[in-house]
Structure 1
Amino acid sequence: MQHIKITIYTTPTCPYCARAKSYLRQLGLKFTEVDVSRDPVAAERLVKKTGQTGVPVIEIGNQIVIGFDKEKIDRILGVR
């Protein structure tokens, strides 16, 4: 399952970001975290890609998950 590249766009004060990261760790997955509050270029890229200004946004391969949507994450990863 870890052959899929996972990137999570976050901010330090976002409780759903913390939950999403915790869940991915529970699944034993590695991911790249991008703090959009400290990286304005990444924040702009995220808005262009998804139209979203809120976090978390999780990129799993070429699929986007808006918010901590556990069911969608599971579906994309083939979990359960």
Structure 2
Amino acid sequence: MTSPKVEIYTKFTCGFCHRAKALLTSKGVEFTEYDITMDGAKREEMLQRKPDAFTVPQIFIDDQPIGGSDDLAALDRAGRLDPLLGL
């Protein structure tokens, strides 16, 4: 089984972003981070992928939009995150 592709759009000073990355890191999950603080092109890419994404982080697992830090934590509490991550 291959590891899923995990992507996270963040901003430099975002506490929720740090929390989401810490959760993924604690599970040993590799992810690609796109810091949109000064990158308008990546911000546009995020909005194209999830048009109602007005906040960061925005997390995608195998191109499926997961939402933000609270959504990621809720999936984890419900026991639904590990299967998505192939754990």
Instruction: Report the TM-score when normalising by structure 1.
Output: 0.85
Q: CA RMSD in A?
A: 2.1
The count of corresponding residues between Structure 1 and Structure 2 is 80
Given that 1:8 and 1:34 are in contact with CA atoms closer than 8 Å, whether structure 2 keeps it comes out as yes
Report percent identity of matched pairs. Answer: 34
Q: Distance in 2 between matches of 1:21 and 1:10?
A: 9
User: What corresponds to 1:12 in structure 2?
Assistant: 12
Question: Structure 2 stretches of 5 or more lacking a match?
Answer: none
User: What whole-Å deviation, never above 9, does each CA across 1:4-48 have from its counterpart, x for those lacking one?
Assistant: 011100001111100000000000001011001122111001112
Given that 1:11 and 1:37 are in contact with CA atoms closer than 8 Å, whether structure 2 keeps it comes out as yes
| Matched position secondary structure for 1:23 | helix
Question: Structure 1 stretches of 5 or more lacking a match?
Answer: none
Runs of 4+ in 1 over 3 A off after TM superposition: none
